[in-house]
Amino acid sequence: MRPFLFAAAAVALSMPATAALAPGKIAPAFVADGALAGKPFKVDLKAALRKGPVVLYFFPAAFTAGCNAEAHAFAEAMPDFDRAGATVIGMTAGAVERIVEFSSDTRYCSGKFAVAAASPKVIKDYDVLLKKPDGTATTITSRTSFVIAPNGKIILAHTDMNPADHIKLTLAKVREYRKAHRKG
């Protein structure tokens, strides 16, 4: 299975970086099985949005190089996301058992944010199923990050298989949103 994931990721690197759902669209609501700090947890987008903006990031597969680096970078940036009032949720097409393990691993998520298993419906609704250059589908999600305002509207969508900019771009958008919607 691992050789397939690496091959799929290599194919995906040659694909254009376009976002699945465009800013201005309403983010589809979902409740998904996931984990927080290695404990099973229901991830509910509507509940998270009641607290403020949500950074929802899809990643191809737990325990792979790019996804490990991205999760670690999100975990390291959690104090900044917390100060900006944002909730971070990671999602992948992976099995819940693997996500439970991934969520608590101190080298990656470190229990600092929820990670969930994206159902086929969530993957379809967010249009994040990775496709090969010939247009055929794979079984993994693209690396796509969304920032969703509390009203449910997507205010940032970024797709790029390189994880480098996902944290920087989502944090900047959350800060921009907070500054524009500061009370008082």
Question: Is domain 2-180 in CATH 3.90.550.10, yes or no?
Answer: no
Answer whether residue 184 shows pLDDT above 80: no
Answer whether residue 6 shows pLDDT above 80: no
pLDDT at residue number 16? 38
Answer whether residue 5 shows pLDDT above 70: no
Of the pLDDT bands very low, low, confident and very high (cuts 50, 70, 90), residue 8 is: very low
Cα 111 to Cα 57: distance, rounded to the nearest angstrom:
16
pLDDT digits (tens, 9 = 90+) for 118-144: 999 999 999 998 887 887 778 889 999
Cα 8 to Cα 28: distance, rounded to the nearest angstrom:
26
Cα 92 to Cα 118: distance, rounded to the nearest angstrom:
5
Instruction: Specify the pTM.
Output: 0.87
pLDDT digits (tens, 9 = 90+) for 102-112: 999 989 998 99
Cβ within 8 Å of residue 68, ≥6 positions away: 62, 107, 108
